[in-house]
Structure 1
């Protein structure tokens, strides 16, 4: 059974991140019913890597978060590592891409794409 939750207590996205995700969705003709799947996978130089991608289906155990017209899907294992995370989008001098501000990360790599707990 999937659970719909209050975004503020689990994962948050900045307005800049939401704008960029909606732009990507539109530019790639991704259907409205697709949600953003946010997850963590084993690997990377610090132990875990962040994964973002659009998904057309909810899986058993997913937590569903709605924010500004964007549906976010998070599996239970990933939610454990992502609770309290704020996802932002940066297009500054240090590079362009999504930034995960994760309070659970005890160490991160220099590129910001992997973390350890």
Structure 2
């Protein structure tokens, strides 16, 4: 499978990359956080690490570390605006439940 960006998210990431020519692409993964266990993290990729899976979409490279890949494989990243708020939104087919505040998710049987 892969990690993909919607057209709106792709445009947003491309703009971030244009402002920082030292960045290699987008780094996407998970970290332990919140009440459910895992939280999505996204930032500009500064290096390619051993074990990274690299997906490319319209010239944007998405770097995912080996530990995160099973938890995010198949995720579609979107970008939304609502009023004054702007945020990336993650449609992760591996998430079986989310905490009430939406900060974290779990995988596997509920």
TM range (shorter): 0.7 to 0.9
Distance change >3 Å, CA 30–CA 95, structure 1 → 2: same
**Larger helix fraction of residues:** 1
Equivalent residue number for residue 59 of structure 2:
69
Q: How is 1:46-57 mapped onto 2 (pairs within 5 angstroms)? A: 46-57=36-47
4+ residue stretches of structure 1 with deviation over 4 A? none
Q: Paired residues, what number? A: 107
Equivalent of 1:90 in 54, 77, 80: 80
Of the three residues 36, 40, 48, the one matched with 2:30 is: 40
Extract unaligned runs of 5+ from structure 2.
none
State how far apart, in whole Å, the 2-side matches of 1:90 and 1:45 are: 24
Aligned-residue Cα RMSD (Å) equals 1.8
2:4 alignment counterpart: 12
CA distance in 1, matches of 2:99, 2:86: 17
Matched, 1:22 2:14: yes
Unaligned runs of 5+ in 1: 1-8
Question: What's the TM-score, normalizing by structure 2?
Answer: 0.86
